[in-house]
Structure 1
């Protein structure tokens, strides 16, 4: 009787490995589709895309404008009235925030007028109010309104915020 010289059948391992990889791929695909489907039906849309089909990165890049800052080098220094007629000392170091370099250039150009208005505003402030965070926030808002009013009178673009770098009342 003749011997069969045909090679032995490949081990069953290769078949099982292919089956495991295929099953793993199907599971990953199913999980991914379920997440995207859930987001779609919950109203979030597809991740990374807005309703008009543009990507979120493109949308943010077209809207985002970094702020620019101008430090007022010399502090605003004045005296303010406290209860009982006593004179108190106030010193404020400021920075101005804007959306464009042109707005800061305008503020730099009109700095003497702005500084004068801010010193007057600080001098008319109440000492007890300036000791609270709410009072300082209100002062910053009033200073912003004053600066923007000066810039508006001069036909310039408004600023975004007035920031305190240092604030001393005593």
Structure 2
């Protein structure tokens, strides 16, 4: 009888844990915000030649209700990203590790700006879905 009670308690705990995990999955309502039009800006290359980079960026948020705040602050975020990219060297723009550093800097800056404006850093990831340079 004690063994049966122990097994029932274990089973109830497992079912309860699974139900809580399922509720957490439902709570995560991920959404994506894309900057339209694409970001096109210049960067300094070797010598006096200007290079350009064309980037499509998607911001991933955990709660799709945060998409309205991203849309409202789009000009501020776009300007900050253009400034970051425009200050990069040709080597950094063209290397994979440099691209990741730029992506990370953009991500950090976007969240800092959103924290100042809305009180929360709602972006969980920043993705470069297109990255072309010349």
Q: Please, what TM-score do these two structures have when normalized by structure 2?
A: 0.80
2:3 maps to none
The structure that has the greater radius of gyration is 1
Mapping for residues 118-137 of structure 1, pairs under 5 Å? 118-137=81-100
Q: Please, what TM-score do these two structures have when normalized by structure 1?
A: 0.65
Any stretches of 5+ residues in structure 1 without a counterpart?
1-45
1:111 alignment partner, one of 67, 74, 79: 74
Q: Which structure: greater strand fraction?
A: 2
| Cα distance in 1 for residues equivalent to 2:90 and 2:18 | 47
Q: Which structure: greater helix fraction?
A: 2
Tell me, yes or no, if structure 1 residue 82 matches structure 2 residue 42.
no
Output the aligned Cα RMSD. Answer: 2.1
1:160 alignment partner, one of 124, 131, 134: 124
| Cα distance in 2 for residues equivalent to 1:167 and 1:129 | 13
Higher RCO (C-alpha 8 Å, min separation 6) = 2
1:34-56 deviation digits (Å, cap 9, x = unpaired):
xxxxxxxxxxxx9xx79x81335
1:67 maps to 30
Any stretches of 5+ residues in structure 2 without a counterpart?
1-6
The count of residues paired between Structure 1 and Structure 2 equals: 122
| Cα distance in 2 for residues equivalent to 1:134 and 1:66 | 31
